[in-house]
Amino acid sequence: MFKELYDKHLCPHIINFFMDDKIIKKQREKVVPKAYGRVLEIGIGSGHNLDFYDYSKVEEIYALEPHPKLIEMSQKKASQLDINLKILDSSAEENPLENESFDSVVCTYTLCTIPDPDKALLEIKRVLKNGGAFIFSEHGLAPEASVQKWQNRLNPLQNAIGGGCNLNRNIPLIIEKSGLKTKELDQGHIPGLTLISYNYWGLSLKE
């Protein structure tokens, strides 16, 4: 009961607050402007990436977001920025989007939360046009055994308080398993709490 109320009412505000961090903004700056053409954003949250698109090369933006409050927040942000954002109340794992209909798919700090990331990546690959780009920045499994130990130990707690967020996902492996080909990959600790500071960012292609 408490968890239900927490996830429904409090969690969206916590997500909005933490995702507004200036270090994360620097990560957004590195990847989001690469998006072009018809863009799909996965788990748009409260819409922080909308400040970072290069609108001179974006035709239109669709987004998938299952949380009603976050849909409302990102829609509000889009209208403030005068952007025609089309949000679908669907999950990344199962959505009604047509095959090969997007040039770019953008995903930031969402693969940690999606319950079945392997399925989500297969869906991302399905909706990307041939040659289309999957553009990402995510936190995940750190390379140091000492950090991994604590990421694994504290994962259940993070999962409960962080709206389903996982500390220990191997992001490059999840992408690779889908068959997308990673062409740009940067990784490393960014400033912040060690358990969530290991980031992976880059671009993979559907070939």
Ligand X SMILES: C[S@@+](CC[C@H](N)C(=O)[O-])C[C@H]1O[C@@H](n2cnc3c(N)ncnc32)[C@H](O)[C@@H]1O
179 contact partners, CB below 8 Å, separation of at least 6: 125
Determine which residue in the list 45, 132, 140, 202 makes contact with ligand X, applying CB under 6 A: 45
Burial code of 70-88, b = ≥16 C-beta within 10 A, e = fewer? bbebbbebbeeeebebebe
As beta bridge partners, residue 86 has: 62
Using rule CB under 6 A, residue 109 touches ligand X: yes
Residue (19 or 185) nearer to ligand X, CB:
19
In 96-192, at which residue ranges do the beta strands (DSSP E only) sit?
Answer: 102-108, 128-139, 181-189
* Part of the chain binding ligand X (CB under 6 A), chosen from 55-63, 91-99, 167-175, 186-194: 91-99
Determine which residue in the list 58, 61, 70, 175 makes contact with ligand X, applying CB under 6 A: 70
Min dist CB 135 to ligand X, Å, is 12
**H or E stretch covering 27:** helix 22-31
Determine which residue in the list 108, 158, 168, 199 makes contact with ligand X, applying CB under 6 A: 108
Residue (32 or 147) nearer to ligand X, CB:
32
**Tokens 């505000």 label which residue?**
13
Using rule CB under 6 A, residue 171 touches ligand X: no
User: What token pair was written down for 60?
Assistant: 């239109």
Min dist CB 154 to ligand X, Å, is 17
Window 111-150: residues binding ligand X (CB under 6 A) = 113-115
Q: Give the chain's radius of gyration (CA, Å).
A: 16
Determine which residue in the list 32, 35, 39, 42 makes contact with ligand X, applying CB under 6 A: 42
The C-alpha atoms of residue 52 and residue 61 are separated, in whole angstroms, by 13
| Count of residues in contact with ligand X, rule CB under 6 A | 22
User: What token pair was written down for 155?
Assistant: 């994962």
* Footprint of ligand X (CB under 6 A): 15, 19, 42-45, 48-49, 64-67, 70, 91-93, 108-110, 113-115
